[in-house]
Amino acid sequence: MIVLGIESSCDETAAAIVQDGTTILSSVISSQIDVHHKYGGVVPELASRMHIEAIVPVVDDAIKKANIKIKDIDAVAATRGPGLIGALLVGFSFAKSFAFARQIPFAGVNHLEAHIYSLFLMKKKPAFPFIALVVSGGHTNIYYVTSQDNFELMGQTRDDAAGEAFDKVAKMLGLGYPGGPIIEELSKTKDPKAISFPRSMLEKDSFDFSFSGLKSSVARYIHVNNISSEDEKAQIASSFQEAVIDVLSKKLINAAHYKKCKSIGIAGGVSANQTFANKLSIRAKTKNISVFSPSTELCGDNAAMIAARGFRMIQQGSLCNLDHDVFSRTKID
């Protein structure tokens, strides 16, 4: 089965052609980073308008690169949520119309579940059961994954997600958007333990996250010490990143112990942070736990993961109707 996947939950317009849920024939992503960069974050209205401009060319390009014809597409899958409503509506409405016009099945995919599916698109996959961390946009969630369809939420952020904290700290330091890649690059030149920022672990045995206190601590440090030089900013970036990595790693390894899992999978934009992936792998190895992550191009928002998850849903008959809508946070039917 050849599935057209469409993703438009935030600031990437993406389309992919995936065969049988595992083989990526093409994956095209049109990023809006250059547009949102000057605002220090995503402007929802601008994102929606740019999705409208990009959706048709991106889908056409994906079909062309897959070396197939429109008639070869057997089904469509699109992100239904969570995400920015205006942005989601563009991709979801296009996919719905495409499927209706061709009279083929259409699935609305949960963006977070799709990130877990990015792990299944790799040659080396975690064996069930495993612990999955999805760090994407406003989400930092830990799941206990027992099959391709069962994702038990163990913990989530209570305030700022890890990715949001990276963006906000980068903005405080005047580093630009998106913050994650910039902070990781700056951190390579400094001692991550030079500044002792707080690590919020919350209640004993909790798998939830809270990064607002860390963000506030960084803001106070900048203000009290009148930080202005690039050298000082790099040091703050390094110590901030270390604090985030420390919390994420401890929570993941604790969750793996709690559920007696020997594998951890990380997915979403922050999983592209190689410093995080490497440090987590080193810590996990001492506990005889293996760490899995997607290739860099599958870490961020992409349509291949949407098509992969959609393929499974279509197989099971979990389809969308024309009256189904998108959702920003809570899933609706």
261-280 pLDDT, tens digit each: 999 999 999 999 999 999 99
- Are the C-beta atoms of residues 15 and 6 closer than 8 Å to each other? yes
Q: How many CB atoms lie within 10 A of CB 276?
A: 24
Query: What region does 27 belong to: left with phi over 0, alpha with psi -120 to 50, or beta?
Result: beta
125-293 topology per CATH: Nucleotidyltransferase; domain 5 (3.30.420)
Nearest CA to 64 out of 30, 25, 18 is that of: 25
Please identify every stretch of the chain with a pLDDT value under 70, giving residue numbers as ranges.
330-333
Distance CA 276, CA 257 (A): 20
Domains 2-115+301-315 and 125-293 share a fold: yes
Distance CA 87, CA 9 (A): 6
The model carries a pTM of 0.94
pLDDT at residue 285, as a whole number: 97
Segments making up each domain of the chain, as ranges: 2-115+301-315, 125-293
2-115+301-315 topology per CATH: Nucleotidyltransferase; domain 5 (3.30.420)
Sheet strands side by side (includes 290-292): 151-155, 139-145, 130-136, 263-267, 290-292
pLDDT per residue over 132-172, tens digit each? 999 987 899 999 999 999 999 999 999 999 999 999 999 99
Distance CA 135, CA 10 (A): 14
